[in-house]
Each structure stands twice: as C-alpha cells, then as structure tokens.
C-alpha cells in the first residue's frame, strides 16, 4: 500500500437534511455546544465577501505547496462537498486560484478550507464561494504529489474525518464530527432558542443581570461601600 500517496472513497457522509439544519445556526453557538474545545485556529480567515458555509468534508493531506491531490479531489467532488486541505500551513505557494475556483463552482462545491495560501483573490471575492485559507501569495503550486484523499486530517488541532460536517462563517471554521452531529445539533438549537429569548428580554428591558453580582460575590470580590 502506498502510504502517503493514495485515494479513498468516503465510508459515510452526513445527510443533506443534517447539513441544512446546521447551516441555519451560527458557528459560535455550535462551538459552544461542543464545549468550546474544537477550532481550526485564528489563521484561517474568509477569502470571500460574505455568507456562511455548510457541507460534507472531502479531506486532503497534501505536501506543502503541491496541489495535485486538490485537483483530483475537485474531480471527485459532488454538489454540497467542502474540500478541506491540510498542507501544513505553508504559505510559500498558492494551492489554487481562479481556474480551479471556476471548475469547483461548476462542480457544485460548497466551499474550501485550506491550511495553505490562495492566489487570484479578486476571483474569490467576485465568485463569493465560501473559502477559508491561511494566506495569499502570487507564487503558484507544484503538481507532483504525494498526498492522500479522504483520510483523517488535522488543522490547528481540529480533527476532520471524511464525511464530517464542515461549517464556516465570519467567526471562522468548525468541523462537526458525524458520529456526534445529532447530539450537537440538539444542544446548539437549545442554545439558539435561549439566546433568542435573551435578545427579546434585552429589547424589552427585562434582561436579568443579577448573575453578575452573584458571581463576583461567590468569588470573593470586594464591593464599594454604599
């Protein structure tokens, strides 16, 4: 077996209904429902203008600066896929630009998460396909391999398995493990409902703030004498 240079199919993928349910929720609230323990790090930032991302992960482990496997992953992609690349965070060479972007749009790719650089930024802005990357450089990639498609990868300590749910918005990127997705969705929806009620209480002027002083007193904070 060619360890480090191989392509797999995904054994399981998240359903469209499940992905659509997550797409309606803020990434920050999903993160809270996951105990705030998972993140891809602050270096992955939106390269598109606006809008959220939700889709099913196609994972790539790539040699830094090489996009051969990224080309193959776009060929393999089906509508609604998010292509996620662990290229070590190297910014010396861009892994994709406007030509690959145009092809991905034609294929129905839902977004990209690249622990690497891109180029042709104006095309990403104009197309507005959700794309999160670590940087920008005009220097192009190599196409020699090796690399792997649909294997477990890690970006900033966040583990992504092929078929997991990938989410992104202006706050960043998050992977929801498929095995825990239903439980995480229920917890996130409960949090979202609670925040909706709290926002209404703020608007009505009935928001209860007594918890702040209670927390300070419990911690032994000294208050001014009245």
Apex 8 CA angle, 124 and 156, nearest 5:
55
Please tell me whether 97 is known to bind a ligand: yes
CA separation for the pair 117, 111 (Å, rounded) = 15
Collapsing DSSP to helix, strand or coil, 154 comes out as: strand
- Give the residue carrying structure tokens 């861009």: 94
CA separation for the pair 95, 92 (Å, rounded) = 10
Apex 84 CA angle, 83 and 85, nearest 5:
120
Contact 101, 122 (CB under 8 A): no
CA separation for the pair 89, 132 (Å, rounded) = 12
Contact 66, 114 (CB under 8 A): no
Please tell me whether 204 is known to bind a ligand: no
CA separation for the pair 199, 69 (Å, rounded) = 46
Q: Phi and psi (nearest 5°) for 15? A: -75, 155
Side-chain half-sphere exposure of 26, counting CA atoms within 13 A: 11
Please tell me whether 100 is known to bind a ligand: yes
Structure tokens at 20: 């659509």
**Residues of the binding site for substrate:** 97-100, 119
**Residues of the binding site:** 97-100, 119-120
**Residues of the binding site for Mg(2+):** 120
């Amino acid at each position: 077996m060619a360890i480090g240079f191989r392509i797999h199919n995904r054994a399981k993928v998240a359903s469209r209904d499940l992905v659509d349910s997550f797409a309606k929720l803020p990434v920050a609230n999903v993160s809270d429902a996951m105990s705030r323990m998972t993140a891809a790090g602050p270096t992955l930032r939106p390269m598109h203008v606006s809008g959220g991302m939700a889709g099913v992960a196609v994972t790539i482990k790539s040699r830094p600066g090489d996009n051969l496997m990224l080309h193959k992953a776009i060929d393999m992609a089906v509508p609604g896929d998010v292509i996620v690349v662990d290229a070590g965070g190297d910014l010396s060479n861009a892994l994709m630009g406007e030509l690959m972007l145009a092809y991905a749009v034609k294929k129905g790719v839902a977004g990209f998460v690249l622990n690497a650089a891109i180029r042709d930024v104006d095309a990403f802005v104009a197309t507005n396909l959700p794309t999160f990357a670590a940087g920008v450089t005009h220097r192009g990639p190599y196409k020699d391999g090796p690399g792997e498609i649909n294997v477990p990868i890690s970006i900033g300590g966040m583990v992504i398995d092929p078929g997991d749910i990938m989410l992104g918005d202006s706050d960043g990127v998050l992977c929801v493990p498929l095995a825990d997705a239903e439980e995480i969705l229920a917890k996130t929806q409960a949090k979202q409902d609670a925040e909706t009620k709290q926002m209404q209480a703020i608007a009505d002027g009935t928001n209860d703030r007594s918890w702040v002083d209670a927390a300070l007193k419990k911690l032994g904070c000294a208050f001014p004498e009245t």
